[in-house]
Amino acid sequence: MARIGIYGWGVVAPRSPDVEAFATNLESSESWLAPFQGFGPSNFLVGTPEFDFERYKGWIDERFPPGKFPQLRQKMGATTQYAIGAFIQALGQNAGIEQVLQDLGTEAQVLVGTGLGELPTSYNASIAYHRAMRRWARFWADRARNRDRARFDDADEIERGHLREEWNVPSDPAETIGDTEAAELREEAWNDYWLGRSDALAGFLTRLNAIESDGVRGAVEAGKLNTIRRKRTATQRLIAEYDCPTPPWLAVSTNLLWNIHNTPAAQISMLGRITGAAYAPVAACSGFSVGLHLAIQAIRSGSVKVAVVGAAEPPPHPLSVGTFYAARVLSGDTSPSLPLTDLRGTHVSGGACVWIIADHEFMQERGFAPLGLELMSVGVTSDADHIITPTPAGPKAAMERALADAGAKASDVGTWDLHATATPGDALEVTTLKELLPESVMITARKGTFGHGMGCGGGWELMAQHMGLAQGRLHPTPLSEEHLNTGIADVGFGYVLDEGCAAPAGVAGKLSMGVGGINACVISRPW
């Protein structure tokens, strides 16, 4: 069975624009979190990535025409830009690996996913659409462009009552008293209703249909571009003739399409000229480890020699902070909530983590040296029970599967990194772990350091584990002994605190538990 090594890694994280900063910051027990400004002043802490895409311009300009970098900067959201930056960093860890990825053809793959996706781009597109739709409805609902509206407005009270019943006219917003929000909703419903009865809009759409019915003529490629230009020009003239607002379907940015969940993987495949399969494993907070699982399977099956694996998440956004808080898993006060302590909730973070993993023998023959630890196995299971509350059985099965696939016993484990989100689930996770592992195991929990990065968070935690153990130590966490929750401390185990410690002998385990009950457990060992 092929041995699996890491031959490149890159990271974008809070306070850490690159691998070097990440490694340096791990030496400190300080939290990397900072106040969130998305609601104006608030009590939330988040992990906002430190990142400058301009840093990667030189690398991209060396390999692509001058327009490539501006295109990526303008069309790609932060999630994809983070992934690109982390990938370029990973290539720099082993000179020559970029060429290997290209030469392998279909024997090199890209598996880079995202849990939340590019939320800021989706949000901005939704807001732009909503505003455009309100303008559009208000314009065509006006009596000057709507015979039915004019008839209704001019009718006497008796006829208006008949028309209201016959046409099913909604309540007039002018009749709303008091509640401003209710008045706004009634106004939208009112304009949307009359929009559908506008005779002027019907005429506009008939003429627009004639424009859009124009097909490609002659040579396909040249004809396609000419058709697009003709339609665009004719549509602009029609809009100017009616003096109407921009139609809502023209107000939505195409960037929404360019930033779907597989975009980070697709862009990495294009920038790295990697022609094997490129796709996005989507497994919430377990995304990074599930990607590792799929890549290791592909390498050990013999179909792949090298794989780019990773995950990227957007910067903290009002939508992500709000939804985590509404689900009662996010802390809402100004001091960091640490795993294994008073369990006030986690903190949202964004960034990326990208690894290049490969068949060790294949890479050794070509003179490449591995980073970190040897990847032995990944066990993946589902709880099949609850959307957010983990069960003991699902994570336990993932751990048992990972140990069995690694050919390791519980007594072989020296250290273990928890998923631990500073919620009551921490106690359940530790209790489940106690059913499998001896009390001699040293436990780490790092979401108090850099927050909860969803898919890429598991990658950060694995990098911290690998970087420390490769040096024979476990980096400190923000946890102090007096703050350790007594209900958790009583379960047993040793916990890595704010001083760090020497690495115990044995293999290392790392558990991730994703929304939806997706569990992934990674077993590694020193080379």
Q: List the chain pLDDT tens, one digit each, 527 residues.
A: 899 999 999 999 999 999 999 999 999 999 999 999 999 999 999 999 999 999 999 999 999 999 999 999 999 999 999 999 999 999 999 999 999 999 999 999 999 999 999 999 999 999 999 999 999 999 999 999 999 999 999 999 999 999 999 999 998 888 766 677 888 899 999 999 999 999 999 999 999 999 999 888 888 887 888 889 999 999 999 999 999 999 999 999 999 999 999 999 999 999 999 999 999 999 999 999 999 999 999 999 999 999 999 999 999 999 999 999 999 999 999 999 999 999 999 999 999 999 999 999 999 999 999 999 999 999 999 999 999 888 999 999 999 999 999 999 999 999 999 999 999 999 999 999 999 999 999 999 999 999 999 999 999 999 999 999 999 999 999 999 899 999 999 998 999 999 999 999 999 999 999 999 999 999 999 99
Q: Taking the CA of residue 89 as centre, how many other CA atoms within 13 Å lie in the half-sphere pointing to its CB? A: 25
Sheet holding 507-514, edge to edge: 278-279, 108-113, 306-313, 351-359, 4-12, 371-382, 518-525, 507-514, 413-417, 442-444, 494-495
User: What are the residues facing 49 on neighbouring strands?
Assistant: 14
The two three-digit tokens of residue 41, written as one number: 């002043």
The rounded distance, in Å, linking the Cα atoms of 252 and 255 is 8
Condensed to tens digits (0 to 9), the pLDDT of residues 64-97 reads: 999 999 999 999 999 999 999 999 999 999 999 9
- Phi and psi at residue 128, to the nearest 5°: -60, -40
User: Considering only CA atoms, which of 463, 475, 482 is closest in space to residue 338?
Assistant: 482
The rounded distance, in Å, linking the Cα atoms of 256 and 121 is 6
Which helix (H) or strand (E) covers residue 262, if one does?
none
Expressed in angstroms, the distance from the first to the final Cα of the chain is 16
Domain(s) labelled CATH 3.40.47.10 in the chain stretch across: 4-118+259-525
User: Considering only CA atoms, which of 512, 430, 418, 524 is closest in space to residue 469?
Assistant: 524
CATH 3.40.50.20 applies to domain 4-118+259-525: no
pTM: 0.95
Condensed to tens digits (0 to 9), the pLDDT of residues 288-298 reads: 999 999 999 99
pLDDT over 70, % of the chain: 99
Which helix (H) or strand (E) covers residue 494, if one does?
strand 494-495
Task: Give 501-516 as a 3 state SS string.
Answer: EECCCCEEEEEEEECC
User: Considering only CA atoms, which of 335, 447, 462 is closest in space to residue 14?
Assistant: 447
Task: Give 211-232 as a 3 state SS string.
Answer: HHCCCCCCCHHHHHHHHHHHHH
Q: Answer positive or negative: Cα dihedral of 178, 182, 184, 187.
A: negative
